[in-house]
Amino acid sequence: MRNIDIQSIKQRFGIIGNSPLLNYAIQVAAQVAPTEMTVLITGESGSGKESFSKIIHQLSPRKHGQFIAINCGAIPEGTIDSELFGHEKGSFTGATDTRKGYFEVTDGGTIFLDEIGEMPLATQARLLRVLENGEFIKVGSSKVQKTDVRVVAATNVNLINAVERGRFREDLYYRLNTVPITVPPLRERGEDIYLLFRKFASDFAERYRVKSITLTPDAVEELLSFRFPGNIRQLKNIVEQISVLEYERELDAARLRHYLPREQGGSQVPALLARENGADHSFSERDLLYKVLFDMRRDVSDLKKLVYELMTRQSGDNELLKEHSHLFENIEQVNHVRPYKSAEKPEPYYLPVQQPRDDEEYDERVEDISHETEEEGLSLESMEKEMILKALKKHNNKRKYAANDLGISERTLYRKLKQYDIEN
């Protein structure tokens, strides 16, 4: 095995740190670089995966060829095939000229496919053919073309889970994962955090022509204890913010805390909907709004029935009920409830104890709540049907995955298909 000078590689590619996990990842990248093997780089967003793709390219025999980095998640699904493989003139609306794709342009070089987990399934099939046979076909063409391109892929998602959910091809996963490289998150790199802080502080001091930021010992401890969910990218942004805003150039722990998010237990990014059972809710904002409306309608219906029952039991002459009767026009009358006269002593009424239920029972209870009348301003039923159709189309009519996206059980989805007369 050839001797690998990890320190010189760090200096050449501007990598800061001495973490054993980082050094091991660099060693694997350097060892695999001279080969033609496909590499899959995994790691959290902002951890520096692209630097490893450059190491592999520059230390390989292809270093004089072209290197292109492509973010698969940033290219619209309708155009990614054209971007990667090219298209013929007139093959689709707007294709006024023949275009070469990245796999044709980088013949003899290296393509870095970042966020490979976001690639559409149809494009994954095309990529698999390139990896296995070195062949591709332009959009709108029937001519098979050859290319000699090395593929380095990267992802910040668990591709095994994506395979189980039907979002990533299993054969492509094993073809890409010939040599895996795991880039450690910043929180697992120990003292590297402070080394990077000092490097960024020096860079921003030179850029903005100010004195470099320094930290007291207690501030260093505070910095090292922070989890940095955004990894190196987040640390760099924090250092830049401090360099611009702080008058005092030495920060203690109390002052540093003003620039660190308070909650350190996970991501600071707000989410519209929680992920259930690992399902990825990738609906549009309108779909998410529909889902919120459905939940609100069910809650309001439950609440109106409960308030009606309480008022008819406890409101004496029912003056409040008469005054606000329009609020209760659309709920079913509760047969066993009768108004009592003011002279009567009302029987005690207690709210029913809620017993714990599993997800299946909860879905059934929610589905059994009586619907509002058709006079509601929005046709929620049609919206619900639209969401179901979109989820089924997205998952090629696989009910299990569609139910996960919709946040309901497969049994509930089956009842909805029958209710809306949807052919599956």
| pLDDT for residue 89 | 86
| pLDDT for residue 357 | 46
- Is the pLDDT reported for residue 367 higher than 60? no
Q: Which residues pair with 151 in a beta bridge?
A: 111
pLDDT category, 311, cuts 50, 70, 90?
A: low
Question: For the residues 405-419, what does the mean pLDDT come to?
Answer: 79
What domains are there in the chain, each with its CATH number? Answer: 6-184 (3.40.50.300), 189-257 (1.10.8.60), 285-419 (no CATH)
Q: What value does the mean pLDDT of the chain take?
A: 80
| pLDDT for residue 293 | 66
pLDDT category, 410, cuts 50, 70, 90?
A: confident
Give which of 70, 61, 69, 57 is closest to 12, Cα–Cα: 57
Question: For the residues 231-237, what does the mean pLDDT come to?
Answer: 94
Q: Are 391 and 406 in contact (CB under 8 A)?
A: yes
CA distances from 73 to 51, 158, 257, 342 (A): 19, 15, 33, 68
Q: Are 357 and 314 in contact (CB under 8 A)?
A: no
Predicted TM-score of the model (pTM): 0.61
Which has more confidence, 330 or 19? 19
Q: pLDDT tens digit string along 34-83?
A: 999 999 999 999 999 999 999 999 999 999 999 999 999 899 888 899 99
Beta-carbon contacts of residue 308 (< 8 Å; ≥ 6 apart)? 321, 328, 331, 334
| pLDDT for residue 65 | 94
Q: Are 134 and 179 in contact (CB under 8 A)?
A: no
Question: For the residues 103-131, what does the mean pLDDT come to?
Answer: 94
For residue 371, the number of C-alpha atoms closer than 13 Å in the C-beta half-sphere is 11
What is the distance of C-alpha 320 from the center of its chain? 49
pLDDT category, 215, cuts 50, 70, 90?
A: very high
Question: For the residues 153-165, what does the mean pLDDT come to?
Answer: 93
